[in-house]
Structure 1
Amino acid sequence: MSQIAFITGATSGFGAACARLFAANGWWLILCGRRLERLEALRVELAGAVSVHAVTLDVRDGSAVNAALAALPSAFAEIDVLVNNAGLALGLEPAQQCDMEDWQRMIDTNIKGLLYCTRAILPGMVARDRGHIVNIGSVAGSYPYPGGNVYGLSLIHISDPTRPH
């Protein structure tokens, strides 16, 4: 049986790079992202080498995360690696001028999305006594930049939910 990686934010950047790297090493992939056309292009690119299942998913919606996992084909049900990569940075304004909707969207994606995916996948890993979770963050969590107030804040503890205690 092949190893399976579940990658959020797979449609660009680090997510797409992770997908290509896992595929090059023979892993089956569950690619998740909001942009259907990019998701489908990556699925087509990688499907010749490995089995790929693409899921249009907005990680901000915990119910959608649970539904997507419940709807996985049985061959993809036992996830070995979760790559929490979905994230975004919005606005560079000083804190007193920021758009509160941008803040909410960053918190919902960067924090809640990571937690929703982890909470949904972790029980299967624990039951099988195997699995890994990779949380992709940014140095902005440790070294904030002007205007990156909520973005940096949303990444400060990105490794904490899955760090062994």
Structure 2
Amino acid sequence: MSQLTHLNAQGEANMVDVSAKAVTAREARAEGFIAMQADTLKLVLEGGHKKGDVLSVARIAGIQAAKRTWDLIPLCHPLMLSKVQVDFVPDETAGGIHIQSLCKLSGQTGVEMEALTAVSVAALTLFDMCKAVDPGMVISGIRVMEKQGGKTGHWQAEGVS
């Protein structure tokens, strides 16, 4: 198993030095799910929520969060993202909304944390906007689905196509 990169020789937290790493095209995809009551899902999908277009607000929140990941996660590098995409796939059978993100850049470090942050904050925004009608919503399954670029190349989670 590899050593934890965010600890120095004394076991103290430190920001990884990426200055010697090559600039390469990098991307990461993440996903999550928010389960909700059927009536809540219908309200969101039909645009009947009195707070407005819930999915548009959550999409913008996810994009903004990805851009500010370095400000939220202490040892993350500030990155010049070239693309952030947040998508929602309603699932009436499972009773909720699948959230997916894609983050891209050309840089010296990966964008997995940005993709995860986009999904997490989009899910939290959906929860915030709908909690008055459905306080029992559950956010789950937040994970990296795939990453590409850098010296480790391509990685994909099991079961992802």
So what's the TM-score if we normalise by structure 2? 0.30
Q: Looking at both structures, which has the greater relative contact order when contacts are Cα pairs under 8 Å and sequence separation is at least 6?
A: 2
Structure 1 or 2: more helix by fraction = 1
Structure 1 or 2: more strand by fraction = 2
So what's the TM-score if we normalise by structure 1? 0.29
